[in-house]
Amino acid sequence: MDSLSKDFSGALKGVYISTYGCQMNVNDTERMFSLLEMINYAPVPSAEQAQLIIINSCSVREKPVHKVVSEVGRYKKLKMKNPDLKIGVAGCVAQQERGRLLKRLPLLDFVFGPDSIDELPEIVQKLDESKKPFHQTRLKNKEPYHIQTLIRNPKVTAFVNITKGCDNFCTFCIVPYTRGRERSRPIEHLLEDIKQLCGRGVKEVTLLGQNVNSYRSPCGAGFAELLKRLAKETPISRIRFTTSHPKDFDEELVSIIAEHRDKIMESIHLPVQSGNDEVLRRMNRGYTRKDYIEKVKIIFEKIPDAVLSTDIIVGFPGESEEQFKDTLSLLDEVPYEGIFAFCYSPRPFTKAALDPNPVPKKIQSERLKELNEKHQAFAFDLVQKYKGKVLDVLVEKRDEKGGLLTGRSSQNKLVYFSGPADLIGQEVPVCIEKAFPQTLYGRKI
Ligand code: SAH
Ligand code: SF4
Ligand code: F3S
């Protein structure tokens, strides 16, 4: 990459973006690179080489503003050396803090929210004219959601946004405030978008939304219909999606996944958050433990080799030891292959942040440890079922360390095996020899 900076002629400028948070932010960063390329900016591998630095921030947990403040602080020397260097903050902290960030951080030149990404070329051009720092953080809550996926050099896998925003207002979550109201892209646009990605060599798409199950095209088509049409009408080989919300995950959807098993992958991320009904009610999740387990039962009835993963919050305000035990015991009933567990952290604007009974940090950490240890103990046994099995692996790249090829199986497991580089981009049968909770090792057959 060093040669890239050497190649810079007068016309090309370097941009460095640091990205935090979810896949949506990862996809937004790629979108920013594509848009900036149109005005002659090229990515550089370090902030030192950049004329433009963007921090694409996340505010879902723990001291997000602090993280932005300290990263901007690290760029102070660069700005002193080069007064023409521009520094901006994007993403969910930008939307949460808006103009306040500019007041707090005099080094910043601009702040822009998730709904202003497509205006980035104009924003950057405005930087040259504007003498004063500014923010562009209007949420476009009423406008239709018409975008096209922008990827500079597509690999075999790609993210595709299908919805933006969220209307669920779980009481712990800041996302409805930072990403605004939920909007869905028209189904015809998505079909066309994904056909074009296929034409550029993409074999697998991951459909992104905060709650993909509540996708609704302006023509009325829902998520199950979208999956069905993508499977039938586009040449895409593999379809994944995230995140599903248990309250909207219905039997029709399970049937469609089962019917199109050749294309729709069987790994389902279904965040439960808690195994206790009272906590779920106070989280405003819209389902009970029984509803959730019932849905899991239907999934396994129709898709016997489904692979489930989940998100869990421990130490939600007022969570008692007994209530936490209900979350622990859920692990005995649902065979999760992966869990992403977090200590509750109060977020601005949210209802739970006002709760007068926070769980002390020490207890939160103990619960988190206990939960992860319990899962760890059986996750290893759970994945031994893959030993001796032949899995189809879509090869993505060569691992830098060991020289092995890596890719994902339909179960979304990371698989390593040795083979020639021309297998990259192909689906390859691999017989699994060693299995760990996160990764599998095998041999090409
Ligand atoms: N839309 C997704 C979640 C997006 S946020 C869904 O509904 O599942 C990703 C995860 O972060 C959540 O599932 C939750 O487990 C966690 N999370 C969100 N807000 C949090 C908070 N205030 N404290 C701790 N974890 C939180
Ligand atoms: Fe947040 Fe709930 Fe929306 Fe997920 S569904 S983004 S947890 S409000
Ligand atoms: Fe973070 Fe915003 Fe994603 S808060 S998790 S970057 S939607």
pTM of the model: 0.95
Q: Is the CB of 173 under 6 A from ligand 1?
A: yes
Nearest CA to ligand 1 atom 24: 344
pLDDT at 9: 47
Place of tokens 């294309």: 263
pLDDT at 11: 62
Bridge-based pairing state of the strands 204-208 and 238-242 = parallel
Q: Please name the residues in contact with 69: beta carbons below 8 A apart, sequence gap of 6 or more.
A: 104, 105
Q: Dihedral of the CA atoms 250, 255, 258, 260 (nearest 10)?
A: -110
Contact in structure between 279 and 317 (CB atoms under 8 Å): no
Cα angle vertex 386, ends 381, 388, to 5°? 120
CA of 60 to the centre of ligand 3 (A): 6
Q: Please name the residues in contact with 129: beta carbons below 8 A apart, sequence gap of 6 or more.
A: none
Q: What is the mean pLDDT of each run of 10 residues along the chain (445 residues)?
A: 43 93 96 96 96 97 91 95 95 96 95 97 90 94 95 95 97 97 98 98 97 96 97 97 96 96 96 98 98 97 96 98 98 96 96 97 98 94 95 93 90 94 94 94 95
pLDDT at 109: 96
Q: Is the CB of 234 under 6 A from ligand 3?
A: no
CA of 149 to the centre of ligand 3 (A): 19
Q: In terms of Cα–Cα distance, which of 221, 211, 212, 166 is closest to 189?
A: 221
pLDDT at 216: 97
Ligand nearest to the CA of 271: 1
Contact in structure between 226 and 190 (CB atoms under 8 Å): yes
Q: Is the CB of 327 under 6 A from ligand 1?
A: no
pLDDT at 129: 84
pLDDT at 3: 39
For the chain, the 3-state helix, strand and coil shares in percent, each to the nearest 5, are: 40, 20, 40
Contact in structure between 286 and 247 (CB atoms under 8 Å): yes
CA of 62 to the centre of ligand 1 (A): 12
Ligand nearest to the CA of 61: 1
For 338, the enclosing helix (H) or strand (E) is strand 338-343
Q: Is the CB of 243 under 6 A from ligand 1?
A: yes
pLDDT at 438: 83
Ligand 1 atom, smallest distance to 311 CA: 15
Residue 25 identity (one-letter amino acid): N
Q: Is the CB of 108 under 6 A from ligand 3?
A: no
Q: Is the CB of 211 under 6 A from ligand 2?
A: yes
3-state secondary structure of 30: helix
Ligand 3 atom, smallest distance to 92 CA: 2
Q: Is the CB of 272 under 6 A from ligand 2?
A: no
Instruction: Return d(Cα 224, Cα 218) in angstroms, integer.
Output: 15
pLDDT at 437: 86
User: Given ligand 2 and candidates 24, 95, 166, which is best to mutate, with the most ligand atoms within 8 Å of its CB?
Assistant: 166
Contact in structure between 180 and 165 (CB atoms under 8 Å): yes
